[in-house]
Structure 1
Amino acid sequence: MAIRIHFTVQDLARTRVAEAPMPLHELELAVRALQSRSQPARFEAWRRRARAQLSVEARMALALMPAVGRSPGFLSPAKAGPVDELLEQVRTTPRDSITANMRETAMRNPALPGWSRDVAHNASLLTALCTGLRHLHAELLAPHWNQFTEHLAADRGLRLQQQLTGGVEQLLSRANPRWMRWNPPVLEVRLMSGAEGDLQLEGQGLLLVPTMFSRRPVLTHGNPVAVSYPVCQDLSPLEAASHGFKPGRGCPAHVSMLVGRTRARVLTAIADHQGCSTGELAAHAAIAPASASEHATVLRAAGLIRSLRHHNTVSHSLTPLGLALLSAPEGA
């Protein structure tokens, strides 16, 4: 079963990848991941830490965003910008829009708490929800935000290259091939909820939003409609954080002793700039491009990095083994 998204010529022309991170949209996906039991190796340590820090207001917001199913769209607009400005937009959402949104959400999610019916007409309740969203952002996203934006920038470069060489067809077919299938002029999206139906984009196009939290696509109804896909990186910021790795901390001495000073600098540069090209790696490590390529070859053969080629560009990212080496305490 799948949601079938129908494209017109205008929709294809207006389909695009998000230009910048969308904090509240990503927060919704983080909240869903927090409540899910999937991918325990990747998320369980993060879940334990986050659950221990949740405030009363944060738990209120959590109650409106289930792991599976529809949540109120006005709480997680697919927009870029500072978190405080976006939260103010949420707080000042027209009451009629909130009422309609909550009514539609309740029809598809009967497990919503009873107090949710009063959100549109209770200013203090809406303020508490916005406070909860702010708390959730501080606990779930803020510690990893800088790394995520670097991942997103690298992923966006890859998607733009796909669009340049293969058009929108390649962009849609490669975004998340396990759960999204491009069958022109229809994109079939298999959601975790198992929902089925047809969706017309009505000339607004589709917004593709990379996320670090969900392998399965999440569909957000709005103008335009947004579909999430997993950011194309081998190592997410959350996985790095769970191992205690802190980007920018410098090259550990034990790594230099093991692989050599220059090669250790190359490995650390890749860790600090996941998805960097060979040219970018050379600049970050302050070595010649040919030398960067040679060291990357050795690190890749050792299983410490992974390199992906897309036409004339090769991007390098850390593997879990490489992360473990950089994260190991001195003298371990």
Structure 2
Amino acid sequence: MVYRIHFTVQDLARTRVAEAPMPLHELELAARALQSRSQPARLDAWRHHARAQLSAQARMVLTLMPAVGYSPGFLSPTKVGAVEDLLEQVRSTPRERVRASLLETAHHHPSLPEWTRHLADDASLFAELCTGLSHLHACLLGPHWDQFTEHLAADRTLRLQQLLTGGVEQLLTQANPQWMRWNPPVLEVRMVNGADRDLYLEGEGFLFIPSMFCTRAIVTDGRPVSVSYPAGQDQRPRELTTSASAPGQARAPGVSTLLGRTRTTVLTTIAEHQGCSTKELAARAGVAPASASEHASVLREAGLIHSLRHRNSVLHSLTPLGLALLNTPEGG
């Protein structure tokens, strides 16, 4: 069964990719992944570490974010921003909206715990839930957020490349071909829960949201309508396969390899031409393609750039650590 999302010319003109991570939306997807049994090789170490850290309040939130199915929209807004600001917005949710959202959730999940019936009217209970949301973010996403941000930025670079080379059609076709099919003017999204529905964008546009924890395509029926999809499906980060390390511990050892003129030139070239291919990097840095590829590999191992394969090319982008290095006197 599928969601059929109907585009107008105005919607195609307003189709875009999220410009930055959406912390609470990503948190909902992480909460679902925590409770799922899929991807054991990639996620089991992360799951084991996270479950050991969960507070009672965080487990309250998990009750409302099942592995599959409906969850209250006020808990996971599709908004960009600092997590502290977004959490404050959740705390300020009007009680009428909380009540309506919980009624809708109960319609899809009749077995919700009894305490959820009192959530809209019990201020202290609602405060506990919001505290749990904060705890859950710190547990599931906090230790890896910098690395996730880098990976999502690399995926956005890939989507920009698709827009430049093939326009919106290529973006709609290639963002998530396993779960989405572009049949102009309709985007068909395959649904695992059996839902079958037509959505009309009505000129309000469409938003793609790359995600670290999404394994398929998840439609959020808001304004604008959005679809979350797996970011960089061919290059998953290694952070999820091990427990979190101390800040800076995993990044520091490779930096000394960059103290050379040619690699500094390569790094600077990537900074000035984000998303450049290895061939373009070689031409702009004045080195042979094989040399550019070798230097990029060293920079990537040091955590200074992120590389993502697109068709027959590899696209390179600067990470925050790479930018920090270039901004120091030693880096220039």
> Which range, TM-score by smaller chain?
0.7 to 0.9
Instruction: Name the counterpart of 1:222.
Output: 222
Could you tell me the percent identity over the aligned residues? 58
TM-score when scaled to structure 1?
0.78
Deviation string, structure 1 residues 258-300 (Cα, Å, up to 9, x no partner): xxx98xx89xx9xxx9x964579979xxx95525743626998
Q: Distance in 1 between matches of 2:14 and 2:250?
A: 36
Structure 1 residue identity aligned to 2:216:
R
| Deviation (angstroms), 1:187 | 1.0
| Helix, strand or coil at the partner of 1:290 | coil
Instruction: Name the counterpart of 2:111.
Output: 111
- Pairs within 5 Å for 1:112-127: 112-127=112-127
Structure 2 residue identity aligned to 1:132:
G
Instruction: Name the counterpart of 2:162.
Output: 162
Q: Distance in 1 between matches of 2:229 and 2:7?
A: 18
Q: Distance in 2 between matches of 1:280 and 1:59?
A: 49
| Deviation (angstroms), 1:9 | 2.0
Instruction: Name the counterpart of 2:32.
Output: 32
Is 2:291 the partner of 1:294?
yes
Is 2:77 the partner of 1:74?
no
Instruction: Name the counterpart of 2:130.
Output: 130
- Pairs within 5 Å for 1:190-229: 190-229=190-229
| Deviation (angstroms), 1:310 | 5.8
> How large is the RMSD of aligned CA atoms in angstroms?
3.3
Structure 2 residue identity aligned to 1:226:
S
Deviation string, structure 1 residues 192-218 (Cα, Å, up to 9, x no partner): 323221122232212110001122112
Q: For the Cα contact (< 8 Å) 1:65–1:71, is it kept in 2?
A: yes
Q: For the Cα contact (< 8 Å) 2:161–2:275, is it kept in 1?
A: no
| Helix, strand or coil at the partner of 1:215 | coil
Instruction: Name the counterpart of 1:327.
Output: none
The runs of 5 or more residues in structure 2 that have no matched partner are 318-332
Deviation string, structure 1 residues 140-173 (Cα, Å, up to 9, x no partner): 1011111111111111121122122222211111
Q: Distance in 2 between matches of 1:46 and 1:67?
A: 16
Q: Distance in 2 between matches of 1:203 and 1:118?
A: 38
| Helix, strand or coil at the partner of 1:84 | helix
Deviation string, structure 1 residues 13-42 (Cα, Å, up to 9, x no partner): 222100111100000000000000100000
TM-score when scaled to structure 2?
0.78
Q: Distance in 1 between matches of 2:7 and 2:36?
A: 32
Q: Quick one: structure 1 residues 125 and 243, their matched pair in 2 at CA, closer, same or farther if it must change by over 3 Å?
A: closer
Q: Distance in 1 between matches of 2:8 and 2:281?
A: 44
Q: Distance in 2 between matches of 1:122 and 1:89?
A: 18
Instruction: Name the counterpart of 1:152.
Output: 152
Q: For the Cα contact (< 8 Å) 1:152–1:210, is it kept in 2?
A: yes
Q: Quick one: structure 1 residues 111 and 175, their matched pair in 2 at CA, closer, same or farther if it must change by over 3 Å?
A: farther
| Helix, strand or coil at the partner of 1:121 | coil
| Deviation (angstroms), 1:236 | 1.9
Instruction: Name the counterpart of 1:320.
Output: none
Q: Distance in 2 between matches of 1:164 and 1:278?
A: 13
Q: Distance in 1 between matches of 2:53 and 2:145?
A: 18
Q: For the Cα contact (< 8 Å) 1:180–1:189, is it kept in 2?
A: yes
| Helix, strand or coil at the partner of 1:226 | strand
Q: Distance in 1 between matches of 2:129 and 2:63?
A: 10
Q: Quick one: structure 1 residues 111 and 225, their matched pair in 2 at CA, closer, same or farther if it must change by over 3 Å?
A: farther
| Helix, strand or coil at the partner of 1:250 | helix
Is 2:178 the partner of 1:178?
yes
Structure 1 residue identity aligned to 2:253:
G
